[in-house]
């Protein structure tokens, strides 16, 4: 039996995928511009109906309600309780995540103070890159409201509520003094490896923005405080946050570009959706159902890489 090998064809078949991969790696940061140039050289390319196999970026969704976070204040008396263990395990579980979902609901689920401290601590502890916000209307309990970077959220809140930044600075300073003999920071992202330190920051921050006697609040400033208990025994210097306030705080830093699909794993793009991805300047693109329900976040570069491969191979 004679076997004839076309060496040139074989080398081309083996090397061409490698060349594309190296090409994409080198020009990864310039994919949008690169794709625009390539598209100008291609007479016609239609992305309608193209099926993309995509990996959703990794989420982490804590179940930390306002009441649960208040339990941290009582940790000295509840070290063995199941509630405290649940909170601690969520906050200190190993591993990172690309984003977390903040469910604003109808506007009585999250206080601005809680969002502020979590934008700092979760970014450090979980290496979060994005906070996704959902709210609810009559037809959709998890309607996508937008996403933002943790640092942007922190400073947008600090601009409106300057006492948050002051409270955090005071808290962190006290914790550093208390645990200064330990190695507090254990990663380049600012992770506090010692669980006790991490919980202390949360607990002490809340103490800085709470009072337990209404008479401690200046009469003209009482509208800036929220009562946390039906018996009016705990007040927090914060505000309930809803979708309207979120937009007001973050302005153009609240990213709302979406593509629509009922699946995050496989998306059939039409040309309009692809143009949305191409026009975006941000790291992630949100995927929602056709009625606006949040489905997941996608890495924009992952989409563009597949698009570049298709354009290059079509030439």
Classify residue 191: in a domain, yes or no.
Answer: yes
Among 16-30, 103-117, 261-275, which is the least confidently predicted range? Answer: 16-30
- Split at pLDDT 50, 70, 90, the class of 36 is very low
Residue range 46-104, pLDDT digits in tens: 344 444 555 556 666 555 545 445 544 444 444 444 444 555 565 566 666 788 888 88
Considering the chain, what is the average pLDDT of its residues?
73
Can you give the residue range of the structural domain that contains 210?
A: 66-250
Q: Tell which wins on pLDDT, 268 or 164.
A: 164
Classify residue 305: in a domain, yes or no.
Answer: no
How are strands ordered across the β-sheet holding 99-105?
A: 99-105, 130-135, 143-148
Classify residue 7: in a domain, yes or no.
Answer: no
Distance CA 253, CA 144 (A): 15
Classify residue 154: in a domain, yes or no.
Answer: yes
Q: Is pLDDT of 251 > 70?
A: yes
- Split at pLDDT 50, 70, 90, the class of 163 is very high
Beta bridge partners of 299: 284
Residues 41-49 have a mean pLDDT of 38
Which region holds residue 137: left if phi is over 0, alpha if psi is between -120 and 50, else beta?
Answer: beta
Classify residue 81: in a domain, yes or no.
Answer: yes
Distance CA 312, CA 308 (A): 6
Under a CB-based contact definition with an 8 Å cutoff, are residues 263 and 273 in contact? Answer: no
Q: Tell which wins on pLDDT, 182 or 288.
A: 288
Residue range 106-159, pLDDT digits in tens: 888 889 998 999 899 888 877 888 999 998 876 667 899 999 999 999 999 999
Classify residue 13: in a domain, yes or no.
Answer: no
pTM of the complete model: 0.74
What is the pLDDT at residue 29?
Answer: 55
Classify residue 199: in a domain, yes or no.
Answer: yes
What is the pLDDT at residue 12?
Answer: 47
What is the pLDDT at residue 198?
Answer: 77
Q: Measuring CA to CA, which residue among 255, 259, 295 is closest to residue 277?
A: 259
Classify residue 207: in a domain, yes or no.
Answer: yes
What is the pLDDT at residue 89?
Answer: 62
- The DSSP string of the chain is ------HHHHHHHHHHHHHHHHHHHHTGGGHHHHHHHHHHHSS----TTEEEE-PBPPB------HHHHHHGGGGGG-TTSHHHHHHHHHHH-SS--SEEEEEEETTTS-BHHHHHHHHHHHHHHH---EEEEEE--SS-TTEEEEEE-HHHHHHHHHHH-HHHHHHHHHHHHHHHHHSTTS--B-STT--B-SHHHHHHHHHHHHHHTEES-GGGS-GGGGGG-EE-STTS--EES--B--HHHHHHHHGGGSB--EEE-S-SSEEEE-HHHHHHHHH--SSEEEEE-TTSBEEEEEEHHHHHHHHHHHHHHH-
The residue written with tokens 């329900």 in the block is 293
What is the pLDDT at residue 150?
Answer: 94
Q: Give me the number of domains the chain comprises.
A: 1
Residues 5-9 have a mean pLDDT of 48
What is the pLDDT at residue 270?
Answer: 64
């Amino acid at each position: 039996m004679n076997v004839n090998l076309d060496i040139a064809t074989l080398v081309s078949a083996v090397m061409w995928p490698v060349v594309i991969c190296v090409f994409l790696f080198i020009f990864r940061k310039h994919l949008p511009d690169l794709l625009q140039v390539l598209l100008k050289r291609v007479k016609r390319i239609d992305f309608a109906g193209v099926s993309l196999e995509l990996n959703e970026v990794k989420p982490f969704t804590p179940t930390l309600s306002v009441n649960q976070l208040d339990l941290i204040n009582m940790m000295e008396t509840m070290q063995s309780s199941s509630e405290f263990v649940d909170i601690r395990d969520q906050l200190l579980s190993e591993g990172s995540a690309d984003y977390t979902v903040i469910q604003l609901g109808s506007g009585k689920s999250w206080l601005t103070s809680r969002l502020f401290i979590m934008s700092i601590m979760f970014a450090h502890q979980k290496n979060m890159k994005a906070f996704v916000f959902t709210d609810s209307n009559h037809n959709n309990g998890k309607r996508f409201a937008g996403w933002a970077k943790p640092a942007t959220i922190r400073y947008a809140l600090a601009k409106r509520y300057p006492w948050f930044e002051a409270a955090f600075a005071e808290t962190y300073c006290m914790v550093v003094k208390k645990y200064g003999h330990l190695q507090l920071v254990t990663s380049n992202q600012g992770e506090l490896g010692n669980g006790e330190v991490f919980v202390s920051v949360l607990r002490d921050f809340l103490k800085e923005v709470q009072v337990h006697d209404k008479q401690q609040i200046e009469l003209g400033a009482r509208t800036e405080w929220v009562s946390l208990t039906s018996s009016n025994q705990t007040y927090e210097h914060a505000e309930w946050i809803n979708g309207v306030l979120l937009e007001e705080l973050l302005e153009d830093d609240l990213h709302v570009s979406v593509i629509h699909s009922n699946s995050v794993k496989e998306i059939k793009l039409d040309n309009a959706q692809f143009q949305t991805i191409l026009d975006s300047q941000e790291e992630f693109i949100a995927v929602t159902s056709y009625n606006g329900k949040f489905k997941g976040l996608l890495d924009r570069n992952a989409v563009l890489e597949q698009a570049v491969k298709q354009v290059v191979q079509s030439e």
